Chain A
Amino acid sequence: MKFKLTLIILLLNFNLLSGSEKTVDQNTIHKNLRCLVCQGQSIADSNSDFAQTIKLVVKDLIKDGKTEDEIYSFMADKYGDWIVYNPSFNKTSFLLWSLPYIVFLVGGFIIFTFFRKNKPNQR
């Protein structure tokens, strides 16, 4: 009974999620692009000339109907991967994305086997 109740409420929550569509938000994109002439700032935070130019270009690309990912590839294509803050998953960065989870799983595995090993002694 409780299980069913939980399930229903969970479903209620997720039903309403359909409300949020994925529109291309220029602010999100600006935050994800690095200002190349600044020290560690994104296009969103920078007022430099370069940042202003990029903002214009992003606006045009959005108007052309490009998706967020297409805009990132465009920028990375012209300026190199360094301009995008979200490292794409490729052979250079796959260690970055996978190592944390590998470590997590290895840690979990170690804990698990630790208990497994000692199980016969438990009463």
Chain B
Amino acid sequence: MLSNLGNFLLLSNVFLSLAIIHSSLRCLKLTGKLIPKIIYQISTLQSTLIIICFFTLVAGFIVSDFSLITVYQNSHTLKPLFYKITGTWGNHEGSLLLWVIILTIFSFLFLVITKNHPKEFRVFTLVIQNILIVGFLFFILFNSNPFSVLSPIPNEGLGLNPILQDPALAIHPPLLYIGFVGSSIYFSAAMASLITNYSQTSFVYSIKNWVLISWCFQSLGILVGSIWAYYELGWGGFWFWDPVENASLLPWFAMTALFHSLIVFEKRGLFYFWVITLCLLTFILSVTGTFLVRSGILNSVHTFASDPARGIYILLFLTLMTFSSIFLLFRKYKKKNYNLNPNSKETFILVNNWFMMFYLITVLLGTVYPIFTDVLTTKKISVGPPFYNTVIIPVVVIFLMMMAIGPKVKWIKERFENLKSYLFILIGSILINFLIIFLFKSYSILLNLIIISAFFLIISSSIDALKSFRNSKINFPRIISHASFGFLVLFIGLNDIFSIEKDYNIKLGEKKSFYNYSIKLQNLKVESFLNYKAVIGELEISNTKNNKKNILKPEIRIYENPQTLTYEAAIKTGFLKDYYLTMSNIDRSDYYNIKFQKKPLMIWIWISVIMVVFGGFLRLFQNAKHN
């Protein structure tokens, strides 16, 4: 019954989208500046039906309707209710439905919010957006239908992967999708703008807040994904440069470059080419990321199960999308010549875009290069963290300095009066770095440079904030975001320098000592839970310097459906540092392998990202108030 309802709703949405495309194009021929009411009505119906469709699937998960293949493959009657619900989008088919909802709702919202813009522009945006919707609906209906049925109906489901039963992972897809799926709307708007030769200023005005919203949510989505990886995956890291992580980072670079370009355009009417290209590029990168992750072409710890037909469909969709946008861009974009003074804020934002493109190309190249070597030379190589760290980090050093100086440079032309103050800030940063080395320990040259330039950015922004208090013309969002970014890099750097990691094979009752810590495996017990059995180790960590003791209890969990073994890390999150402990058994032995890590400042890394995003939301709030 649910399956019939779901399929009916999906099919209805296909027809509604086609209806919108048809009637929108028709209304262009009509005189009159307004979009006919019927289109609003169809759009409202469209959004309503897709939401109901989504809840139909959720209902299927809640009641454990195993006639639906997706529910059967990804759920189980013993799963806690919360995870039954969030399991709806924790799989390929369900998450595609989430894609379509966001595409549809954004289409509706754009229609409603842009009432003051001319008909042609709005119509074409609607049309392109609905072509995207139809494309995805076809994909769902013909290849990845969450409402496909199974017969005979199984009694029990195959269960959701236990690592996916986590609150952070539950909100990770919705946040991320509002980010990069949301970027579809300014992709469509950019195409419409090219088709209708729309006024550049009005176009920028129409997409400004959409870009900001998608950037904020994309950042939050990436943050939550990292938090999940840290707490759930058991290796103590939060970023592995895994293809799936890279796929979410690529649109982020484009979005960041985009909204900085929007700032330039608003102030000076320049960089329109950047604006249009980045609007198109962001969503193209989003779909490329989806392709890389879901087609099975890459090997990753996060991949959904793969299926070549899936890959072919998405590749086709991607090709058509990219081809039409490149074609339109070449055909319709008119070049404008302008002059730019090198000593101006515009230049610094150009530099920002230049750096963003560098990061983008590096991450993109690293992610897809193994595909190229495999196809062209049949040699398989791996590109992992060492590559990205080596290439990107040195560049970040300079980038942070640019972030500090750029915002304070004047528009159009700068008179370099504050060169002296920069020098003082630089000396201050070097002194603080020196203090860290002196009090604690020394570290590599690269890390030295990172710490120095991070402090340069932080101190610059702080002084900037203090100075602006007198002017009362504070650009809070920028100061908060830039300073927080500086803090982010600083905390990541310090975390890297001061982390301790130790690996031991230990037996019950044994004690190991190192530096000023000692670990003892005090106890081991086996407990049964609702849908798993756990071997819980009780380890006592003693800090021999201050005699503080902590008990951490890592687990080895044995799940039944499907039969999986997971290792739950025991993490003690503290103000200044986290203790991180994982335990695993060694086959055919009574020894257990214990990995102990001390990770300083972890919580501050998360807080820094939240503050960077906060700056974005603040700016959004200011924009709204301004209107």
Contact = CB atoms under 8 A, between A and B. Distances in A.
Contacts of A83: 382
B594 to A, nearest CB: 12
Given A13-B434, A52-B586, A107-B354, A6 B383 contact: no
Given A86-B386, A96-B387, A104-B358, A40 B301 contact: yes
A75 to B, nearest CB: 11
Nearest to A90: B381
B524 interface: no
Contacts of A2: 420, 423, 427
A61 interface: no
A32 B437 contact: no
A4 B380 CA distance: 51
Interface string B330-374: 000000000111100001001100100110011001100100010
A10 B430 contact: yes
A87 B423 CA distance: 39
Contact of B448 (A17, A85, A97, A118): A17
Interface string A65-100: 000000000000000111111110000110111011
A49 interface: yes
A122 B358 contact: no
A interface majority secondary structure = helix
B448 A100 contact: no
Interface string B92-124: 000000000000000000000000000000000
Nearest to B427: A6
A104 B395 CA distance: 10
Nearest to B361: A103
A2 to B, nearest CB: 6
Size class of the contact patch on chain B: 35 or more
B382 A5 contact: no
A103 B235 CA distance: 34
A62 to B, nearest CB: 13
B238 to A, nearest CB: 13
Contacts, number: 145
Contacts of B385: 31, 85
Contacts of B386: 32, 85-86
Nearest to A13: B434
Contacts of A111: 350-351, 354
A39 interface: yes
Contact of B379 (A12, A32, A92, A114): A92
B290 to A, nearest CB: 18
B234 interface: yes
B440 to A, nearest CB: 11
A92 B357 contact: no
Closest 8 CB pairs of A and B: A85-B384, A86-B386, A40-B301, A45-B235, A47-B584, A19-B442, A100-B362, A82-B380
Interface of A: 2, 5-6, 9-10, 12-14, 16-20, 26-27, 30-32, 34, 38-42, 44-45, 47, 49, 52, 80-87, 92-93, 95-97, 99-101, 103-104, 107-108, 111, 114-115, 118, 121-122
Interface of B: 233-235, 242-243, 299-303, 339-342, 347, 350-351, 354, 357-358, 361-362, 365-366, 369, 373, 377, 379-387, 390-391, 395, 420, 423, 426-427, 430-431, 433-434, 437-438, 441-445, 448, 501, 503, 567, 584-587, 593
Given A10-B430, A44-B235, A92-B373, 4 more contacts: A6-B426, A16-B437, A17-B444, A100-B391
